[in-house]
């Protein structure tokens, strides 16, 4: 067991040091949701006709409603940023060396996920602290209950990034693919508006939002922040995590990579 933990610790420390030296990444991760919270929330609230939203226990303001969705945004972008570093590692050859180590491939990829989740959770709690400074607060115990929910949602979104990065061979192609994934997942979810509001526009769009894994990641965090539990969202997040992580393990099979390079010859 000790070699497994040592490998995970080394990978987590490597990713943490990389993050520390990329201060612009940390600032960008905070500015993006803060712009949505402070600037766009008023416009969206007016356009959607939402001043208060009937939630699961009481009525809340629109700004409070979108905070969990913006936490999900941080984790979604962080998962894709971590995947970007994996594409870079593939080009440099360090990823292949890592995957050919004696440890199981799934453990190495899981360690990568843990490193990314640690970074994203730090960003989320800094964002929540800044939001509280603007008077947008959650129930006190909600911040504690949200911690395990953020771990699971971060693992799921990070695993999605792993699947995507396993299909990309050139760094230049990643930006377009990342935008193609991030924006549909974010806007076709409950991050900015509830499903019942979406249904007023289109039943089909509501059904797409209902099966979107990001929707359930946001709802898992939202319920936790409201000191509640959403078993259906938990089930969807765990199922999506299993599927994405399994796809990443297959996609990062070094033997399959060797076969791809041999075919043209």
pLDDT confidence of residue 199? 77
Highest mean pLDDT, choosing among 67-81, 83-97, 164-178: 67-81
Instruction: Work out the angle at residue 137's Cα, subtended by the Cα atoms of residues 134 and 143, and round it to the nearest 5 degrees.
Output: 130
pLDDT confidence of residue 264? 45
Instruction: Work out the angle at residue 93's Cα, subtended by the Cα atoms of residues 88 and 95, and round it to the nearest 5 degrees.
Output: 70
- φ, ψ for residue 194, nearest 5 deg: -75, 165
Q: State what percent of residues in the chain have pLDDT above 70.
A: 75
pLDDT confidence of residue 260? 47
Q: How high does pLDDT run on average in the chain? A: 79
Mean pLDDT value of segment 97-116: 77
- φ, ψ for residue 232, nearest 5 deg: -65, -40
pLDDT reading at 198 higher than 60: yes
CA-closest candidate to residue 134, choices 195, 68, 80, 63: 63
- For residues 90 and 24, what is the distance between their CA atoms, to the nearest angstrom? 23
Pairwise pLDDT comparison (128 vs 264), residue with the higher score: 128
Token output for 115 = 């490193």
Pairwise pLDDT comparison (108 vs 235), residue with the higher score: 235
CB 37 within 8 A of CB 129: no
Other Cβ atoms less than 10 A from the Cβ of 53: the count is 18
pLDDT confidence of residue 254? 61
């Amino acid at each position: 067991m000790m070699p497994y933990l040592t490998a995970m610790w080394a990978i987590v420390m490597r990713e943490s040091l990389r993050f520390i030296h990329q201060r612009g990444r940390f600032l960008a991760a905070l500015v993006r949701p803060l712009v949505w919270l402070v600037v766009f929330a008023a416009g969206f609230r007016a356009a959607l006709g939402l001043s208060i939203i009937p939630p699961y226990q009481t009525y809340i303001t629109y700004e409070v409603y979108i905070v969990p969705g913006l936490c999900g945004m941080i984790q979604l972008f962080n998962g894709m940023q971590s995947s970007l570093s994996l594409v870079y590692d593939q080009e440099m050859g360090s990823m292949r060396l890592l995957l050919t180590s004696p440890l199981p491939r799934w453990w190495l990829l899981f360690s990568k996920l843990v490193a990314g989740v640690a970074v994203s959770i730090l960003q989320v709690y800094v964002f929540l602290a800044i939001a509280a400074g603007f008077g947008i607060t959650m129930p006190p115990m909600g911040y504690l209950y949200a911690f395990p929910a953020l771990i699971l949602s971060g693992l799921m979104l990070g695993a999605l990034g792993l699947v995507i990065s396993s299909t990309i061979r050139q760094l230049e192609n990643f930006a377009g693919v990342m935008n193609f994934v991030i924006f549909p997942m974010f806007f076709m979810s409950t991050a900015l508006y509830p499903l019942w509001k979406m249904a007023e526009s289109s039943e089909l769009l509501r059904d797409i939002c209902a099966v979107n894994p990001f929707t359930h990641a946001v709802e898992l965090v939202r319920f936790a922040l409201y000191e509640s539990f959403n078993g259906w969202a938990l089930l969807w997040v765990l199922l999506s995590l299993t599927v994405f992580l399994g796809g990443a393990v297959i996609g990062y099979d070094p033997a399959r990579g060797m076969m791809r390079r041999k075919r043209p010859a």
